[in-house]
Amino acid sequence: MKISFIKPLAFITAVVSSLGFWSGSVLSDDLTVALAAEPTSMDPHYQNTTQNNSLMTQMYSALVLQDVNQRLVPGLAKSWKSINDTTWEFHLRPGVKFQNGSAFSAEDVVATMQRAANVPNSPSSFATFIKGKSFKVIDDLTLQISSDKSDPFAPNDMSRIAIIDSAFINATTEDFNTGVAAFGTGPFSLTKWLPGDLIELKRNDNYWGNAVVWDNVIIRPIKDGTTRTAALISGDVDFIERVAPSDLPNLEKRAGISVFKSVSNRSLYLTLHMTDNPRRAFTTDNDGNSIASPFQDVRMRKAVSLAINRQAISDRIMDGLSSPAGQFSPEGYVGYSPNLKADDYDPARAKGLMAEAGYADGFKLTIHGPAGRYTNDTRILEAIAQMLSSINIDTSVETMPASVFFKRFARGGVDNTPEFTVAMSGYANGSGEPSHPLRIFIHTKQKERGYGPGNRNGYSNAEVDKLIEDGRASMDIEMGEKAFIKATEIAMQEYALLPIHHVVATWAARDGITYKNGALDSTFLHNVSKE
């Protein structure tokens, strides 16, 4: 039994091409790509972030894959079925080899799961997809996965874990970074990584799936969107992601360029620290004295939400390439609640709530975020700071490279706790099922069960926890979705997180190159091809 948990997503692709400076040129068998961010590691299990995961899908395969709209399709498992409510059986693809020549078998899956759940110093662990599951080898090509409770999302979870050669179960993250252990079963293999400069991949001629058209791929990390556009126009690169919104109209008109757009499930959000254990250093009174987090009070969290002019951010900073958000899931996705809308901009009401909460005179705040990780992220943070300052929250902004930000965001504080009082981050539902953001960001943190690994602000609600767990245990998909929607509604009404907007994903390429895009704003190199 194969189950898809994403409703059909309408997406638009605009292609503009005509005679231009590449007219008549012969495409090389090598592809040069400019990405907005580079991975923090070549270890496929080190950090569960978009830029890491999208690249790892090129070097490694999972048991289950996703198509461009996140429907589940066979990967290293050619088929799977539920034996009962708690057990799934996966039948593995025969004849698959790792890039070092080792044969793939069920033992590699078991070893992978043991390692992936326990990578030292992981800023964002994959354990949430593995905890509570046991793995039993039936034979070389048959595997059973069992859970203590009903687990309808086990195939979705298995689409998130890159399978490694069991010989490297004890390999360190550095072993993968240097290439010593970086052998997967994906369409490309790693040949070089120079952090901050380039990543080189070569085609895996023994890949079990559809052959890719590129002999070699060179990836250049270019954080600035306008610089990426310039590199494409000059011919220094063949393909770019996350076109700067201000550049998009010109690229769509430019001869020799093709532009691709999709409504994505990428959202941008704020976390607000809701406990005072430990106290964080980035809120003070107006005289500079440390104070407890004001955001323990739901009225203050709501005040911040009302002070953010989401439509202005979309119109003026994103040039229309975003839509204001009041929940994680965009309309059309499983788990979307029609009862939740983005808060209207209402600074007067925000000031009233602050007065009710005892903060009429305001306070000082520093908000944090990554620089260059998301489209116009620094400009968005600066705009939010101005909006908050207008309601007497004297707000400054501190940004930093994504690799630094996410480490501090996860465990930069006292006793390896999250460091920041208010931070901006992004999220894209890589699993394609509705409980993913809920169990990661909303559920009370329970490390031993794999719940709440991304809960950076201390939100906790027992009713919400139960709804998430009940939904994940229900083999009735519709009943499960109802539980997730109710959990979402409660959490958003309590401002567990503050969604800002959903992103329209963009890519651009030189003439003769096409891209198969869909629900995710990630770039998947095997979907870049020649026309």
The first and second tokens of residue 167, run together, are 């010989």
Amino acid 523: pLDDT:
93
Average pLDDT (370-376) is 91
Mean pLDDT confidence for 341-360: 98
Q: Which residues have CB under 8 Å from 153's CB, separation 6+?
A: 5, 431, 433, 435, 472
What is the spatial distance between Cα 368 and Cα 373, in angstroms, rounded to a whole number? 13
Q: Is residue 232 within 8 Å of residue 240, measured between CB atoms?
A: yes
Residue matched to tokens 């099922």 = 433
For residues 197-225, average pLDDT: 96
Give 318's contacts (C-beta < 8 A, 6+ positions apart): 245, 375, 376, 501, 503
Kindly write down the DSSP assignment for every residue of 127-176, as one continuous string.
Answer: GGGTTTEEEEEEETTEEEEEESS--TTHHHHHTT-----GGGTT--HHHH
Provide, rounded to the nearest whole percent, the portion of the chain with pLDDT above 70.
Answer: 95
Report the pLDDT averaged over residues 110-130.
93
Pairing of strands 30-35, 239-241: parallel
pLDDT of res. 433: 83
Percent of the chain with pLDDT over 90: 78
Residue 77 and residue 96 in contact, taking contact as beta carbons nearer than 8 Å: no
**Comparing 49 with 185, which gets the higher pLDDT?**
185
Beta-carbon count within 10 A of 398 CB: 14
Averaged confidence pLDDT in the chain = 91
- State how far the Cα of 90 lies from the Cα of 57, in Å rounded to an integer: 20
Q: Residue 429 has what pLDDT? A: 82
Within 13 Å and on the Cβ side, how many CA atoms surround 35? 25
Domains of the chain with bracketed CATH: 37-221 (3.40.190.10), 264-503 (3.10.105.10)
Residues 119-147 have a mean pLDDT of 94
Q: What is the CA radius of gyration of the chain?
A: 23
pTM score, two decimals? 0.74
**389-433 residue pLDDT tens:** 999 999 999 999 998 999 999 999 988 899 999 999 998 887 778
The answer to whether residue 14 scores a pLDDT higher than 60 is: no
Residue pair 81/145 in contact by the 8 Å Cβ criterion: no
> Which stretch of 161-175, 231-245, 255-269, 339-353 has the lowest confidence by average pLDDT?
255-269
Quick one: tokens of 272?
């607000």
To which residue do tokens 């790693």 refer? Answer: 190
Lookup: tokens for 465: 């926890």
Q: What is the pLDDT of residue 27?
A: 58
Which has the closest alpha carbon to 5: 59, 86, 56, 64? 64
Measured at the CA of 412, the angle between CA 407 and CA 413, to 5 degrees, comes to: 160
The 3-class SS string of 104-120 reads CCHHHHHHHHHHHCCCC
